[in-house]
């Protein structure tokens, strides 16, 4: 070929330019080779991470929440497997028909699905805790960008019967109230994780390794007896309905161990369906609400006076006329009896008698007695919101306040505190610790009053449930019962409401060797009766009688029918 014939082919580059071009090409190759060595040799983890991010995922493995059972192993709270549907919005692709089917399955308006998908580009929950069969039908829609996780939902077989004591968990299976919240760390366990390989559709094609094994939560055995709980709840509901009351509460304690065997509240709710809830339904009134206990406090003042040698059960108290004045205030009794013995002060629930006994005692000693039985201090129960009540320093007491405190005015307690305080009369003067969990070892209480004093008070409390006392409706066929009524005006706007009452009864049985202590409170009965002996005592009788038979406690009284007094004929308390 003749290169000279063509001026283009005849053109020759200078030698230095060709060499420079060759050097630039060689330098480029060296840079690329160095980068390759750097990335594949020194930064291999970076490339590996980028590669794995295309196909590898780390999934959380949920830990199964521990069961809650009653003292006999009956399940009270269990976790059932459910699914959650979530999405990566930027990857979601569905037709209008798929969108409509998805909305119908998730029971959500289509616009709500669109709204959630627009909340984020990377991750969003569409619906949590749906049944597995619904989740399977969602999978069959084959919508790209839609995924599912396995979760657990808490189920409560007892429903509304144990709602306030068990509480409930939220969407993340974390305790929100009650036992579920109080023992969250025990029940929850620890989630695990595993690494998997997913295809481009998001389906798991290989399980490569377990990063951290899940640790399931521990089971919890409560002191509650499910059968006794059902009995207490049903009788409380009957009383609240019959008396058209605003609310009610009951607690059953093992007199020997302090275990909470039953605890019920009204109004209540179904923890398996919490779509309609109010604050009143959620409140565990036994533990978190306080009230003025009324005459149920009289035995503590009398016990202190006997312990200090001020009186004996047969000491005469001048109550003639049924009233006494302290400054500008006057204390009344419902009935005008002649002078009473100390035992009759308890039997007939005399405010004047209790006030006179109280004023014979140092105020500091009365405060000590109330403090020792747990008033003014929240019980150590590991339960959220446990109330301590109100017990003002004795140095600020005026004589009228010391007198009225003897019959439960000017002091507030929870029903649980009141029930626990009565364990001193059941256990030879020992105050028993409380427990929501089953106790398998012997329990030692704290000595508050002498054993002999406790026996004397128990005998007086037996008189209170006999004819001539304030609570003959608390009696039980075949068992000796000891207990005390309480009726108090409700506090309202800094004073006392004229026609609003709290009726209560606290008692123990069998009186010869107490096995149970039961406290009942009926809030604002409005069907005509409002005295503790007429409203709360019958609940005690029904629950205590059923419980003793359920526990196989031998009778300690004749198995003879009891004649109930006519309605309205009981000894009343002037409140």
295 catalytic, yes or no?
yes
The dihedral through the CA atoms of 50, 52, 56, 60 has a sign that is negative
The H or E element that residue 417 is part of is: helix 415-421
**SS in 3 state form for 468-522?**
CCCCHHHCECCECCEEEEEEEEEEECCEEEEEEEEEEEEEEECCCCCCEEEEEEE
What is the C-alpha radius of gyration for the chain, rounded to an integer number of angstroms? Answer: 37
| Active-site annotation holder among 295, 350, 412, 414 | 295
Cβ-count burial of 25 within 10 angstroms (0-12 exposed, 13-18 middle, 19+ buried)? exposed
Under DSSP, the state recorded for 208 is E
List C-alpha distances in Å: 436 to 72, 251, 259: 14, 12, 6
According to DSSP, the β-strands at 323-326 and 329-332 are antiparallel
> How far is the C-alpha of 169 from the C-alpha of 295, rounded, in Å?
39
According to DSSP, the β-strands at 220-221 and 68-69 are parallel
Cβ-count burial of 295 within 10 angstroms (0-12 exposed, 13-18 middle, 19+ buried)? buried
Compute how many other C-beta atoms are within 10 angstroms of the C-beta atom of residue 13. Answer: 9
> How far is the C-alpha of 415 from the C-alpha of 427, rounded, in Å?
19
List C-alpha distances in Å: 406 to 199, 304, 322, 329: 77, 11, 16, 15
Under DSSP, the state recorded for 298 is H
Compute how many other C-beta atoms are within 10 angstroms of the C-beta atom of residue 485. Answer: 33
Q: How many CA atoms lie within 13 A of 470 on its CB side?
A: 35
Give catalytic residue positions. 295
């Amino acid at each position: 070929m003749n290169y000279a014939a063509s001026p283009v082919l005849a053109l020759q580059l200078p030698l230095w330019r060709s060499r420079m071009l060759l050097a630039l090409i060689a330098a480029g190759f060296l840079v690329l080779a160095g980068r390759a060595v750097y990335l594949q040799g020194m930064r291999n983890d970076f490339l590996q991470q980028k590669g794995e991010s295309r196909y590898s995922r780390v999934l959380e493995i949920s830990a199964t929440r521990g069961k809650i059972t009653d003292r006999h192993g009956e399940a009270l709270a269990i976790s059932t497997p459910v699914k959650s549907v979530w999405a990566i919005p930027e990857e979601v692709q569905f037709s209008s028909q798929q969108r409509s089917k998805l909305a119908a399955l998730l029971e959500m308006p289509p616009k709500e699905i669109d709204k959630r998908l627009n909340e984020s580009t990377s991750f969003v929950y569409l619906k949590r805790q749906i049944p597995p069969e619904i989740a399977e039908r969602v999978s069959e829609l084959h919508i790209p960008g839609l995924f599912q996780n396995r979760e657990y939902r808490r189920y409560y077989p007892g429903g509304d019967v144990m709602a306030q004591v068990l509480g409930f968990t939220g969407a993340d299976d974390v305790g929100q109230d009650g036992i579920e919240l109080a023992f969250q760390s025990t029940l929850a366990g620890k989630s695990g994780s595993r690494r998997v390989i997913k295809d481009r559709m998001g389906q798991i094609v290989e399980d490569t390794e377990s990063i951290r094994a899940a640790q399931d939560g521990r089971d919890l055995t409560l002191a509650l007896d499910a059968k006794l709980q059902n009995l207490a709840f049903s009788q409380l509901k009957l009383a609240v309905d019959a008396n058209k009351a605003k609310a009610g509460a009951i607690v059953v304690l093992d007199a020997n161990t302090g275990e909470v065997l039953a605890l019920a509240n009204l109004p209540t709710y179904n923890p398996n369906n919490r779509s309609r809830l109010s604050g009143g339904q959620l409140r565990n009134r036994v533990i978190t609400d306080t009230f003025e206990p009324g005459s149920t406090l009289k035995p503590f003042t009398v016990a202190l006076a006997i312990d200090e040698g001020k009186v004996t059960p047969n000491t005469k108290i001048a109550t003639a006329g049924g009233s006494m004045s302290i400054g500008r205030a006057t204390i009344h009794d419902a009935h005008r009896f002649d002078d009473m013995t100390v035992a009759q002060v308890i039997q007939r629930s005399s405010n004047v008698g209790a006030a006179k006994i109280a004023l014979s005692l140092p105020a500091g000693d009365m405060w000590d007695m109330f403090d020792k039985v747990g008033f003014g201090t929240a019980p150590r129960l590991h339960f959220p919101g446990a109330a301590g009540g109100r017990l003002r320093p004795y140095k600020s007491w005026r004589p009228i306040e010391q007198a009225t405190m003897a019959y439960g005015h000017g002091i507030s307690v929870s029903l649980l505190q009141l029930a626990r305080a009565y364990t001193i009369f059941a256990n030879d003067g020992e105050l028993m610790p409380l427990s929501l969990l089953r106790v398998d070892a012997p329990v030692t209480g704290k000595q508050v009053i002498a054993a002999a004093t406790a026996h004397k008070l128990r005998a007086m409390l037996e008189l209170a449930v006999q004819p001539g006392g304030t609570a003959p409706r608390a009696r039980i066929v075949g068992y000796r019962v000891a207990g005390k009524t309480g009726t108090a005006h409700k506090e309202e706007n800094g004073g006392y409401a004229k026609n609003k009452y709290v009726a209560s009864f606290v008692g123990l049985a069998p009186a010869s060797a107490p096995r149970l202590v039961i406290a009942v409170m009926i809030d604002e009965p409005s069907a005509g009766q409002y005295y503790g002996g007429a409203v709360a005592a019958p609940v005690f009788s029904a629950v205590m009688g059923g419980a003793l038979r359920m526990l196989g406690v031998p009778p300690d009284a004749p198995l003879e029918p009891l004649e109930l007094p006519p309605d309205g004929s009981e000894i009343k308390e002037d409140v």
